[in-house]
Amino acid sequence: MEGNFFDLGHGSGKAIVAAAIIGSFKRISGIELLDGLYYQSVRQKDKYLKQSIDTNQDINLFQGNFLEESCDWWSQSDFVYMNNVFEEDLISKIGLRAAAMKPGSWFVTLFKPLPANEKWDRRLTKYMTMSWGTALVHVHFKLK
Ligand SMILES: C[S@@+](CC[C@H](N)C(=O)[O-])C[C@H]1O[C@@H](n2cnc3c(N)ncnc32)[C@H](O)[C@@H]1O
């Protein structure tokens, strides 16, 4: 996977560090609403960067709301990851923003898929083992 990775609601930053370990993303970003988790993720990132041989990776963590215009993950990202524990109303707002992503982008969700949309092709839906248990993973590809 290449290009720009974005985690919507990055929590303590586990997926951010995992994306950094993959090593092929140009830019790795995340946004988290809760202060406490945000500060924890900054500590995780610093710890990872200290241990990493490749310190040239561009990792950006933000504290805020992923629905805000200033966040703009939909125009900057080639690969979005979302641990989708959210309510339907929030998912539908995320879906509207995701519709503006570039063709050829990927959007991976856990548990619930993106709202159905002709612009997205759901390429895979599969149970996968996580460090904390099993999750249904959905892989969406942006057609247009
Ligand atoms: C299930 S956790 C996922 C954490 C991480 N992405 C992972 O997979 O380990 C969902 C996170 O989304 C955050 N969140 C919820 N609504 C948000 C919003 N509007 N903007 C940014 N983060 C949000 C929550 O605070 C929570 O940390």
Counting ligand 1 atoms within 8 A of each CB, the residue from 5, 16, 32 with the most, and so the one to mutate, is 32
Widest distance between CA atoms in the chain: 43
Q: What is the pLDDT of residues 43-88, one digit of tens each?
A: 999 998 888 866 678 999 999 999 999 999 999 999 999 999 999 9
The total number of structural domains that make up the chain: 1
CA of 97 to the centre of ligand 1 (A): 17
The reported pTM is 0.96
Ligand 1 centroid from CA 81, angstroms: 11
Q: Output the domain CATH number for residue 29.
A: 3.40.50.150
Report the Cα 22 to chain-centroid distance in Å. 14
Quick check: CB of 14 below 6 Å from ligand 1?
Answer: yes
Domain that holds residue 61: 4-142
Interval 99-128 mean pLDDT: 98
